[in-house]
Amino acid sequence: MTFNFNAPYSSARLPLFARNVVSTSHPLAAQAGLRMMLKGGNAVDAAIAAAATLTITEPVSNGLGSDAFCILWDGQQLHGLNASGNAPQSWTPDYFKRKYGADVATPPKRGFDSVTVPGAVSSWVALSERFGKLPFADLMEPAIDIAERGYLLPVVVQQKWTAAMPELQSMPGFAEGFLPWGRAPDVGELFQFKAAARGLRAIAESKGQAFYGGEIAQAIERFSVQHGGTLTAKDFADYRPEWVTPIAQNYRGYTLHEIPPNGQGIAALIALGILEHFDVAGLPVDGVDSQHLQIEAMKLAFADVYRYVADPSAMEVTPAQMLDPAYLASRAQLIQMNKAQDFGAGNPVKGGTIYLTAADENGMMVSFIQSNYMGFGSGCVEPEFGVSLQNRGHGFNVQSGGLNPANLVAPGKRPFHTIIPAFLTQDGQPVMSYGVMGANMQPQGHMQTLVRMLDYGQNPQAACDAPRWRYNAGYSINVEADMNAQTVQGLAQLGHHMDVINDSYQDFGAGQFIWRMGDPKVQGYVAASDSRRDGQAVGF
C-alpha cells in the first residue's frame, strides 16, 4: 500500500497534561528529552538531549553547526544565554567587496562566506555545566544512536528536504551528507548520518572541546580552506557564549521576557507595549479589528527593530530606550483603525529554526531555540564529522550607512539574529516557556499566540492551532488559508495586501508551549505542540 501523506482535513490537537514535559518539533527528540528525565535528569538535561537529537532528525532547520539561545527558570530566577556566533577575524567590508564586488550589500546567502562561528554546541555545554544533573556524555546518547542507526523520515521534514535539493545539491559536502542515493530520502525511508554520529561522540567525550579548537574545529578549517573560506580553528577556540539578562515588557498583568539584542525578540515586546494601549479583548478574537490592530503594532515594532537592532556594542540606542513607555505610547497613537499604514522607524532617543521547551516537577523550565537560519544553512557540510554549518553571516551589512549602520560586518562581531526563545512570568513567578519558529515570524508568533491566551483566554494548544498572519514589508501580509474569509476580505478593504498561503510550514512558523498550572508536583503543566510540524509534546 502506498499512502498519500498530504493531510486532507484540518485537525486540532489536544493539550498534554503532566508533571514533567518535553515539547519539540519532532517526536524522537521529545522522547530523547523524556529519557533523560526518566534517568533522573532535569529539564535542562532534557532540553540538551532534545536539541542534540533535533540536529539529526530535523536537519533542514538545524545541525551541529547551528546557533542557539536559551531562557530558563532555575527554580528561583530567570537566566538568559546568547550562543549566537561571531564573525571570523578575516571578515571586514573590504574582504567582501574585493571578493564579490564593490556594490555587494550583504555576505552571500550560501557557502563558507556566510558562516559565522557556530554557537549551539557551546550552549549545550554551558547549560549542562551550570544547571544539569546528568553527565554530559549521557545527554548525547539518544542523538548518537539515532544518527548511527537511522530514523524514518517524517512528512514535513521530507517535503522541505526535497524543496532544498535543487539549490544546495552542489554545495560542499551537501550531497554526501544529505542526498543518499543522489536524492532526498522519501517519507518513511531510513536516513542514517554516521558522520554526525562521529561528531556527536567527539563532542560527548570531550565535553565540547573537540568542537572549539579540537579535532572538529581543525577539520572545519581544512574544509573551509579547501572551498574558499577563511574560518579557522582559532576562530572556534576564541568563541564563548554569553550569559545575559533577559529584557521584559508587561502585558495584561503578566511579563514577557526575551533575549536582548543582537536578537529580534524586542520586536514582540515593542508590539505588546503598543497593544497595551488598546482594549484588544473588547474586539472579536478572529475579527478584522483585532487582527488589524495586531498587524499595525507589529509593523511599528519591525520598523524600529530593522533600523536599530544589531550587536549591542554597536547599537545607536539601548533596548531600554526602545521600550520606554512614553515612546511606545507615542507609537501607539500612530495606528488608525480605518486603514493600513506603512510605518517608518521612530526616534527612541530622548533629546528553515527549531524550538523546544522542557519543564520538570521541581519547577525548572527551559525555553530553547536552535537554528541554521535558512534551510540547511550555508549548505556546507563538513564530511568527517557531519557538521552542517549555518549561514548567519548573511545577516550582516557590507556597506556602511543603509537602513541599519550598526549591523556592519566586522571581525568578532555578531550579526542581527532572528531566533528568539520566550518566557512569561507573573509577579516574578514562572508561567510559560514558549517559542514560535520561522525567521521574522518568530516575534509575530510570540505576540499573536500570547494575545490569544491573555486577552481571549484560549488555551495554549488552541492559541497554537489558530490561523496566523505574517507581516512581510510595506503593506504585504501573508495569511493562512483557514483564516476566516470575511476577516481576510475586511483586512484587504483596510489596505492590507493579503496573500493567502496554503503552505503553513513555509510562512507561519511552528510553536511549542508549556504553561505552568500551579505547583508542578501537584498541578503540573499543560503543553502544546504545533501541528504545522511533525512535533509532539510528551510527559509523565
Flag whether pLDDT at 332 surpasses 80: yes
In 384-468, DSSP assigns E strands to 387-388, 422-426, 429-436
Burial class (CB in 10 A: 0-12, 13-18, 19+), 33: buried
* 4-18, 151-165, 296-310, 418-432: least confident range: 4-18
* Gap between the Cα atoms of 49 and 141, Å rounded: 8
Strand partners, 469: 479
- Per the structure block, which three cell numbers stand in for 103? 556594490
Flag whether pLDDT at 428 surpasses 90: yes
* 346, 304 Cβ separation under 8 angstroms: yes
* Gap between the Cα atoms of 379 and 390, Å rounded: 8
* Gap between the Cα atoms of 165 and 390, Å rounded: 16
Domain 245-353+437-539, CATH number (from 1.10.240.10, 1.10.246.130, 1.10.760.10, 3.40.50.300): 1.10.246.130
Q: Convert the pLDDT of each residue in 154-201 to its tens digit.
A: 999 999 999 999 999 999 999 999 999 999 999 999 999 999 999 999
| Cα–chain center distance at 398 | 24
* 431, 516 Cβ separation under 8 angstroms: yes
Residue labelled with grid coordinates 480605518: 338
The whole-chain average pLDDT of the chain stands at 95
Q: Convert the pLDDT of each residue in 510-534 to its tens digit.
A: 999 999 999 999 999 999 999 899 8
Strand partners, 422: 258, 434
Q: Convert the pLDDT of each residue in 258-306 to its tens digit.
A: 999 999 999 999 999 999 999 999 999 999 999 999 999 999 999 999 9
* Gap between the Cα atoms of 17 and 526, Å rounded: 5
pLDDT category of residue 2 using cuts at 50, 70 and 90? low
Q: CB-based contacts of 209: which residues, under 8 Å, 6+ apart?
A: none
pLDDT the model gives residue 351: 46
* Gap between the Cα atoms of 327 and 321, Å rounded: 8
Q: CB-based contacts of 191: which residues, under 8 Å, 6+ apart?
A: 150, 151, 152, 153, 180, 185
Flag whether pLDDT at 35 surpasses 70: yes
Name the residue ranges covered by the structural domains of the chain.
Answer: 25-243+375-407, 245-353+437-539
pLDDT the model gives residue 346: 81
Taking residues 5-34, report their average pLDDT. Answer: 88
Q: Convert the pLDDT of each residue in 96-147 to its tens digit.
A: 999 999 999 999 999 999 999 999 999 999 999 999 999 999 999 999 999 9
pLDDT the model gives residue 16: 95
pLDDT category of residue 507 using cuts at 50, 70 and 90? confident
pLDDT category of residue 353 using cuts at 50, 70 and 90? confident
Residue labelled with grid coordinates 526575551: 258
pLDDT the model gives residue 451: 98
Q: Which of 407, 314, 316, 417 is nearest to 370 (CA)?
A: 417
Q: Classify each residue of 510-533 as buried b or exposed e, where b means 16 or more C-beta atoms within 10 Å of its C-beta.
A: bbbbbbbeeebeeebbbbbbbbbb
Flag whether pLDDT at 317 surpasses 50: yes
Q: Which of 499, 488, 504, 502 is nearest to 291 (CA)?
A: 488
Active site residue 232: no
Can you give the pTM of this predicted structure? 0.96
- Per the structure block, which three cell numbers stand in for 305? 527593530
Burial class (CB in 10 A: 0-12, 13-18, 19+), 320: exposed
pLDDT the model gives residue 9: 63
* Gap between the Cα atoms of 105 and 251, Å rounded: 38
Catalytic residue among 24, 232, 353, 425: 353
**Exposure of 534 in the CB half-sphere (CA atoms within 13 A):** 22
* Gap between the Cα atoms of 421 and 93, Å rounded: 31
pLDDT the model gives residue 350: 54
Q: Classify each residue of 253-288 as buried b or exposed e, where b means 16 or more C-beta atoms within 10 Å of its C-beta.
A: ebbbbbbbbbbbbbbbbbbbbbbbebebeebeeeeb
Rounded to whole angstroms, what are the CA distances from 443 to 216, 259, 265, 447? Answer: 34, 12, 6, 6
* Gap between the Cα atoms of 268 and 363, Å rounded: 25
Q: Which of 282, 314, 257 is nearest to 432 (CA)?
A: 257
* Gap between the Cα atoms of 294 and 447, Å rounded: 8
* Gap between the Cα atoms of 212 and 120, Å rounded: 11
* C-beta neighbour count of 337 within 10 angstroms: 12
